Amino acid sequence: MKFEKMQGTGNDYIYFNLFEEKIDNPSALSIKLSDRHFGVGGDGIVLIGPSDEGDFSMRMFNADGSEAEMCGNASRCVAKYLYERGLTKKREIALDTKAGIKYLQLFIDPQTDTVQRVRVNMGKADFSSRSIPVISELSEVIDQPLTIDEKTYRITCVSMGNPHAVIFMSGIDALKLDEIGPKIENHPMFPQRTNVEFIEVIDRHTLKMRVWERGSGETLACGTGACASLAAGVLNDRCDTSVTVKLKGGDLHIEWDKVHNQVYLTGDAHFVFKGEIPD
């Protein structure tokens, strides 16, 4: 079974081409291969395949085997894979995900014919408690208190096709994220668990972010989380509608077209290595 390791802003996954490979149990495979000591190592696996609705499909599984709806960083890597491995020469790709069709715009270096950046239409930011979902008497959870271990955090809940709890605070570098992250991820108010973003505002155009990803733990980046954080920041008047989000793995540029409620993510994508798993 052949695979390719790729990363976008440090968010690393193991990619499989379903046009060539057959995978019967992707959940178990993700648990096995994501282990950074006994496997390949990664935040999960991504399956690239055909689609009746879009040009191609993407399914992704977290390191704990759970299937996620969408990943902005992974979708950029999928675009690079499709173009540079010769599955398409389109520069605009409709990618079928569990969060719906996502439209990818590829920026190509004319000299090397390689993908340098990808801009993803991540769709709408949804604040509806029912849609996220989050259990609350409020129709939208915006800057509401959540107390964990006698400390109160102000959370804003957003869906980018998957659930996010965004917290604005200072001193995020000192956070013991491995302690607080799981407690918020698995809080009873989130029936499908949640991703958690801790955001420090640098200025109106710059956010600094640490993220605890549902099913994977702390990662170097989260594309949907960066998008959710911008939307939450605008709603709480902490930033403008176009920002650079600074993550441990690098920078992402996020824009929110509030008129049409469409969020756009632009960033890099890189091959790391390829390999083959013995039968």
Shared-domain flag, residues 116 and 175: no
CB within 8 A of 11, min separation 6: which ones?
Answer: 43, 71, 73, 74, 219, 220, 221, 222, 223, 249
Shared-domain flag, residues 79 and 19: yes
Shared-domain flag, residues 118 and 152: no
Q: Secondary structure of 197-232 in the HEC alphabet?
A: EEEEEEECCEEEEEEEECCCEEECCCHHHHHHHHHH
Shared-domain flag, residues 94 and 153: no
Whether the pLDDT of residue 279 is over 80: the answer is no
Residue 247, domain member (yes or no): yes
Mean pLDDT of 133-145: 97
Residue 133, domain member (yes or no): no
Residue 127, domain member (yes or no): no
Shared-domain flag, residues 162 and 81: no
Shared-domain flag, residues 157 and 74: no
Shared-domain flag, residues 155 and 101: no
Residue-wise pLDDT for 95-124, tens only, equals: 999 999 999 999 999 999 999 999 999 999
Domain span at 96: 2-122+267-272
| Domain CATH number, residue 96 | 3.10.310.10
Banded model confidence at residue 278, pLDDT cuts 50, 70, 90:
confident
DSSP letter string, 39-70: SS--SEEEEEE--SSSSEEEEEEETTSPEES-
Residue 138, domain member (yes or no): no
Instruction: Provide the greatest CA pair distance for the chain.
Output: 57
Shared-domain flag, residues 192 and 226: yes
Amino acid occupying residue 135:
I
Residue 252, domain member (yes or no): yes
Mean pLDDT in the chain? 96
Whether the pLDDT of residue 157 is over 90: the answer is yes
Q: Which of 269, 209, 198 has the alpha carbon at shortest distance from 244?
A: 209
- First-to-last alpha carbon distance for the chain, in angstroms, is 7
Shared-domain flag, residues 113 and 149: no
Q: What confidence score (pLDDT) does residue 207 get?
A: 98
Whether the pLDDT of residue 181 is over 80: the answer is yes
Shared-domain flag, residues 92 and 159: no
What stretches of 50-182 adopt beta strand conformation (E)? 56-62, 67-68, 92-97, 100-109, 114-123, 144-148, 151-159, 163-168
Shared-domain flag, residues 214 and 165: yes
Percent of the chain at pLDDT > 70 equals 100
Shared-domain flag, residues 239 and 156: yes
Q: What is the count of structural domains for the chain?
A: 2
- Gap between the Cα atoms of 273 and 5, Å rounded: 5
Where in the sequence numbering do the catalytic residues fall?
Answer: 71, 222
Per-residue buried b or exposed e for 151-163, using 16+ beta carbons within 10 Å of the residue's own CB: eebebbbbbbbbb
Residue-wise pLDDT for 42-60, tens only, equals: 999 999 999 999 999 999 9
Residue 86, domain member (yes or no): yes
Report pTM. 0.92
**Distances from the Cα of 253 to the Cα of 14, 15, 172, 229, angstroms:** 24, 24, 20, 12
Q: What confidence score (pLDDT) does residue 74 get?
A: 96
